[in-house]
Amino acid sequence: MRDLVEIGMGRTARRSYDLQQIEIVPSRRTRSSKEVTLAWQLDAYRFEIPLMTHPTDAVVSPASAVRIGQLGGLPVLNAEGLWARHGDADAALERVLDAADSGDEHAAIRLLQELHAAPIQPDLLTEALKTVREAGVTVAVRVSPQRAREITPTLLAAGVEILVVQGTIISAEHVSQGEPLNLGDFIKGLDVPVVAGGVGDYRTAMHLMRTGAAGVIVGYGESAGTTTDSVLGIGVPMATAIVDAAAARRDYLDETGGRYVHVIADGGMAGSGDLAKAIACGADAVMLGEQLAASAESPGGGLYWTSAAAHPSLPRSEITVQDTGERTLEQVLFGPSDSPYGDVALFSALRRAMAKTGYSDLKEFQKAGLTVRG
């Protein structure tokens, strides 16, 4: 039964919860961390950890994508980002870093908008994907709903293996001045699995599952610098949103007689504890960006922004400075940790949380008991 609160005469609102408002309840047993697996399989692709990256140039370059894949995660390159528009994307990023240090808090955003106004060059995009593919890493690429129909043929020719159709909020049918994108028809015409999002409620998650998507992204990449709630008034309390999407997954599984759609949590996770809570709420994997930005391999040099930062008319992400220490990506993901705050050894902490509460794999951990803070 939904918890509805009257907010005025004749109007109610649903009470919902962020990940920071809930806790995982231990079970009657514990187990050794060595007996816990974090393996996750999306369609035909198996990954050692349940990680997708947020498709931002601050974290994912062709080179860092290779390293993320080697460490067991799924890197997602932005097909509408700097590597698709500029022959020397590293130099473009250096300009962004310099602008961020200029003292003008809006200079870097204006520069990102300018850099993203350059046309997408199919040859550059193809070359970027070639680097990832030749390293033996699964090639996953993000496109926006607005440009999916236009860019996808280039991606397919370049060997994309997983397509991510992602916007701040997405629906089964995107209506524009031109021909609308019917996601169901679009997916039916592809031979690669599609992950789509973001969504924030049961109904939209169910609609996306019915399009044939292999995975549904919950959330819009909320981080310390996202301003979507300030700009659009839209918010996604992640604990409730993940649980609702997991309920849609269960009902869709029954509806189809066995088709399983993965739920990927994007945003609202400050550290490893929130990551564990996201899985316990029902997520199959998490989409991380801000948490990886401080690693030595991240192209943003310790800065972080989401893909919405470069929107030409309504940017919805600040450029924030992360801890720019000497930690490698491997240390951020697996440790050893020298921090007591859950920002290092993210997946080793997830493994330990599962062991401490008695679960041996991700599907079991989705059944963990939860409690709400008083």
Task: Supply the pLDDT for residue 315.
Answer: 75
Whole-angstrom distance, CA of residue 93 vs CA of residue 100 = 11
| SS3 per-residue string spanning 74-135 | ECEEECCCHHHCCCCHHHHHHHHHHHHCCCCCCHHHHHHHHHCCCCCCHHHHHHHHHHHHHC
Nearest CA to 143 among 219, 90, 196?
A: 196
Return the percentage of the chain with pLDDT > 70, whole number.
95
List the single range of 6-10, 20-24, 189-193, 271-275 with lowest mean pLDDT: 6-10
Q: In total, how many domains does the chain have?
A: 1
Where does residue 221 fall: left (phi above 0), alpha (psi -120 to 50 degrees), or beta otherwise? left
In this structure, which amino acid lies at residue 28? R
Taking only the tens place, the pLDDT of each residue in 128-143 is 999 999 999 999 999 9
With pLDDT > 90 as the criterion, what percentage of the chain qualifies?
Answer: 72
The tens digit of pLDDT for each residue in 313-327 reads: 777 777 787 766 679
What does the buried/exposed string (b/e) look like for 68-87 if buried means 16 or more CB atoms within 10 Å of the residue's CB?
bbebbbbbbbbbbbbbbbbe
Distances 294 to 132, 219, 259, 289 between C-alpha atoms, Å: 22, 22, 38, 10
Nearest to 91, CA basis, from 54, 118, 52, 51: 118
H helix or E strand, kind and range, residue 65? helix 62-70
Q: What is the pLDDT of residues 153-211, one digit of tens each?
A: 999 999 999 999 998 666 655 555 566 778 999 999 999 999 999 899 999 999 999 99
- DSSP assignment letter at 326: S
**pLDDT at site 325:** 61
Structural domain containing residue 163: 4-372
Whether the upstream peptide bond of residue 336 has omega within 30° of 0, thus cis, is yes
Cis upstream peptide for 235 (omega within 30°)? no
Residue 51 above 60 pLDDT? yes
Higher pLDDT, 180 or 264: 264
Q: No. of H helices and E strands in the chain? A: 13, 18
What pLDDT score was predicted for residue 211? 95
Task: Report whether 72 contacts 49 (CB < 8 A).
Answer: yes
- Output the average pLDDT for the chain: 91
> Dihedrals φ, ψ of 11, to 5°?
-135, 130
Q: pTM here?
A: 0.93
Q: Taking 60 as the threshold, does the pLDDT of residue 28 lie above it?
A: yes
209-243 pLDDT, tens digit per residue, is 999 999 999 998 776 677 777 777 777 799 999 99
Centre a 10 Å sphere on the Cβ of residue 21 and count the other Cβ atoms it contains. 16
Looking at per-residue confidence, does 76 or 30 come out higher? 76
Q: Are 165 and 123 in contact (CB under 8 A)?
A: no
Return the H-helix or E-strand segment holding 285: strand 285-288
pLDDT of 11 above 80: yes
Amino acid at 219: G
Give pLDDT, residue 101: 86
Total residue length of the chain: 374
Residue 346 DSSP code: H
Q: Contact 52/73 with Cβ under 8 angstroms?
A: yes
CA 216 – CA 187 distance, rounded (Å) = 13
**Using alpha carbons only, how large is the chain's radius of gyration in Å?**
20
- pLDDT value at residue 176: 57
Q: What is the CATH number of the domain that holds 123?
A: 3.20.20.70
The average pLDDT across 2-31 equals 90
pLDDT of residue 308: 79
Q: How is the beta sheet containing 140-143 ordered, strand by strand?
A: 51-53, 285-288, 262-267, 215-222, 194-199, 162-166, 140-143, 76-78
Q: Tokens 């604990």 correspond to what residue?
A: 239
